[in-house]
Structure 1
Amino acid sequence: MLQNTEHTSAVTVTAPPSKSLSHRYLIGAALAGGASTVRHVLESADLECTRAILASAGARLEPLETSRDGAGAWRVHGLGGAPRGGQGRPLSCDVRESGTTCRLLTAVLAAGEGLFRIHGAERMHERPIGELAEALTTLGAGVVFEGAPGCPPLRLQAHGLNPALAGDGGVLRLGMDVSSQYFSGLLLAAPLCPAPLCVELAGRKAVSWPYVGLTLQCLTDFGVHFGVETRKHAEAPWHPLPEGAWRDLDEARPACLRIQVRPGAYQSGDYTVEGDWSGASYFLAAGALGRRPVRVEGLRADSLQGDRAMLDILRKMGARVEADAEAVTVYPSALHGVALDMGSCPDLVPTVAVLAAFAQGSTRISNVAHLRVKESNRISAPAEELAKTGVTVDQLSDGMLVSGLAGRGCGRQNAPRLPEGLNLCAHNDHRMAMSLALLALQEPGLRMETRLDDPMVVRKSFPQFWEVWSRLQ
């Protein structure tokens, strides 16, 4: 039966800085005029790429300090305008494996002047960017794909972006079926345009909408002015939302939302990145699966991050969760299967798949077909690794069905087990590695970093992960 945790002291950890906002705030500071200070920045391989490209394009970034939890602080001397590329020879922009760097900066660099070459690791050259490239071409950029059509590497000839070329009153229609980062990239680039740019949501569905909310939060913090309009259906009239009301949007429907960004300068200043609900999700899940409660500090209760949905998912699965203004505590709990639409929080899917493996009954995860083009195929990769522990995962067209191993009652009679001598594969994916760490919590003495083919893939987003994780074991 479950141990009594009422008097068991919780393990306390601090959430890492938000990866999404670290990228966006560094970009904003680099485009601003004058000097800015950006604190509590995630120090990871992905952020190294973003900083390196911004520096190559003319910004100057100076490290100030690194805290004990691995967060950094940077003094950024901004461009005061558009990024600068090469003349005659393109500026090399190596995004390595960072999809966020690739998509956000491709749009931002296109608003600059000069030649840029966007390239990265082998997997990045398989990840699509064609829809964004088409939008940038419409606005006046020149894009040439060097390999597979619609994927990096690509050469970008930038002459600034001109909304007038979009036609239809400067309205550009862009889908979010594959990635919200196309939309976010254009929004970040829009203040550099000579006229207002209106981006209307197109396509069949909008995945990861909350990340666009984070982009709007960044624009607001940096003094960029924009308006958001919605309508009930594709033939209805548009209605502007009151200032700040976009924060209450839980989802966006194609043909029913558009955002107009006015030209203007990013404002320099002092900025602090909030804690990352994505990085915290592994520890919150550990509270439910492990032997001791886990308390995660440094999370913003009113955050716009979509992965704040982890709290609702845990509660829906039966976990005991206590949240206050300063921290969230999750207690060891018997879990049960549920049906989850995770289109707004796809980064949580590998973690929730492991939670579901320990639950009683089946869990269906839907609306995440786009996970097939992430760092790994995040539908097949969890299925393959969980199968090694005795868990059946059926791959579906838009997600997966996980058959939990827990029996009735306390839910701990049966659980996934990693056979002796069998190792797991991280699929060169940081989120896979961190989610698989959960499998070791109920096996005393098992250290998952010794059973993964590449445990250090976590450096992409959370270099201190294994050090922090050790406190739970």
Structure 2
Amino acid sequence: MPLIIDANNAGTVLRFLTAFLAFGDGKWLLTGNERMQKRPVSELVTALQDLGAKISYANNEGFPPLNITSSRFSGGEVYIDAAKSSQFVSALMMIAPVLKKGLIIKLNKKIVSEPYIKMTASLMRLFGIDVDFSNNKIIIPPSVYNIPDYTVESDWSSASYWYEVVALNDASEIKISNLFENSIQGDASVCEVFKSLGVTTTFLPKGEIVIKKTSTTVKELNFDATDCPDLVPSIMASCFGNGVKLNLTGYSHLKYKESDRLNSMISELSKLGCKHSYKGRTLVLEGKIVEKRADFTTYGDHRIAMSLAPLCSKTDSISIDDKDVVLKSYPDFWSDILNLNVLTIS
């Protein structure tokens, strides 16, 4: 009988485990919750099968649950489509050093969340692995991981909600620890994005930053979400909360997140009066808050909850249907908000 591993709705966990469990010993049934079983994994599975991995679909073709019988495939050259998730690529990269032939990973021309692939490469190099990433090809020879003492930086994606809080509250200022100017995280670009919304970032010694509302916002913001999809909810909420017109592109892969994240945000912001339209492949979000109360739905998505919460500073009250959804990535989110004395939660 296979050992059952339930990843719930953690896409990173399921995708990384798919590659990890494929090589080695054992039989596994890798599954997730209802939403996870609708999130595609075929690109990764096909690549692993091409390498010799023994993986099959337990229910629907292309989606979890997965039957995995571990084996000792040797590696070599493989092609993978990275248009839906960079995690497919990172999953392959991390097992490459233990394969007899290593891996040569060829990518298609359209790559989403490429900074996450570069972050994987940077960490692997730090841990003693030779990684060559150029011209849509990644070459990783067989090697041995050498793990030094390493301090994990705080999460810039989670910091985006505090940028949102500052953007929505004039003269506000927040200090955050363990974030660095030379970060390898792609979402560190939040610093530049929120400059347009009147928020400045000051880097202090020992990995502290101070974010402060210092100026007025632009009237219109253009944002390409191809590289940083996790910033989209906080940017959408911040723009709408400040009456800034948002022109959003590069959002196609948001439908594969914990929820159909773009449509989830559109639906919830509309409860406060947000309007949207499409001009070709550009989503145009505009309008100002006209409703002072709203009952928000999270769709089981932690980022939806955390991006909607700061809007209570622009309304009389809001409710969020599943406050515990934030436990996935930021368990202390609600207590941190209360400690700011900016928002009131009951």
TM-score of the alignment, normalized to the shorter chain, above 0.5: yes
Q: Distance in 2 between matches of 1:285 and 1:323?
A: 18
Provide the residue aligned with 2:124 in structure 1.
Answer: 219
1:399 is displaced (CA, Å) by: 6.0
Mapped contact 1:289–1:333 kept (Cα < 8 A): no
Provide the residue aligned with 1:99 in structure 2.
Answer: 11
Unaligned runs of 5+ in 1: 1-88, 164-169, 231-255, 406-414
Mapped contact 1:95–1:119 kept (Cα < 8 A): yes
The reply on whether 1:345 has 2:236 as its aligned counterpart is no
Provide the residue aligned with 2:68 in structure 1.
Answer: 156
Q: Equivalent residues in 2 for 1:394-473 (5 A)?
A: 394=277, 400-405=283-288, 415=289, 417-419=291-293, 422-443=294-315, 446=317, 448=318, 451-472=319-340, 473=342
Mapped contact 1:136–1:161 kept (Cα < 8 A): no
Mapped contact 1:288–1:319 kept (Cα < 8 A): yes
Mapped contact 2:2–2:29 kept (Cα < 8 A): yes
Change (3 A) 1:401 1:386: same
1:441 is displaced (CA, Å) by: 1.9
Q: Distance in 1 between matches of 2:58 and 2:280?
A: 31
Counterpart code for 1:437: A
Q: Equivalent residues in 2 for 1:64-83 (5 A)?
A: none
Counterpart code for 1:270: D
Q: Secondary structure at the match of 1:198?
A: strand
Q: Distance in 2 between matches of 1:327 and 1:99?
A: 30
Give 2:257's match in structure 1, choosing from 370, 374, 384. Answer: 374
Which structure has the higher relative contact order (CA within 8 Å, separation 6+)? 1
Q: Distance in 2 between matches of 1:131 and 1:301?
A: 34
TM-score by length of 1: 0.68
1:360 is displaced (CA, Å) by: 4.1
Provide the residue aligned with 1:354 in structure 2.
Answer: 237
TM-score by length of 2: 0.92
Provide the residue aligned with 1:136 in structure 2.
Answer: 48
Give 1:331's match in structure 2, choosing from 213, 218, 232. Answer: 213
The reply on whether 1:120 has 2:35 as its aligned counterpart is no
Deviations 1:116-171 (A, max 9, x none): 211011100000000100000000111111111100001012212322xxxxxx32
Q: Distance in 1 between matches of 2:282 and 2:73?
A: 37
Provide the residue aligned with 1:9 in structure 2.
Answer: none
Provide the residue aligned with 1:267 in structure 2.
Answer: 146
Unaligned runs of 5+ in 2: none
Provide the residue aligned with 2:85 in structure 1.
Answer: 179
- What is the aligned length? 337
Counterpart code for 2:62: G
Mapped contact 2:167–2:199 kept (Cα < 8 A): yes
Change (3 A) 1:189 1:457: same
Change (3 A) 1:267 1:396: farther
Mapped contact 1:363–1:404 kept (Cα < 8 A): no
Change (3 A) 1:470 1:323: same
Q: Equivalent residues in 2 for 1:167-316 (5 A)?
A: 170-202=76-108, 204-228=109-133, 230=134, 256-291=135-170, 292-316=172-196
Change (3 A) 1:355 1:333: farther
Deviations 1:1-21 (A, max 9, x none): xxxxxxxxxxxxxxxxxxxxx
Counterpart code for 2:83: D
Aligned-pair identity (%): 33
1:390 is displaced (CA, Å) by: 0.9
Q: Equivalent residues in 2 for 1:2-13 (5 A)?
A: none
Mapped contact 1:224–1:264 kept (Cα < 8 A): yes
- The range that moved more, 178-187 or 364-373, is 364-373
1:319 is displaced (CA, Å) by: 3.4
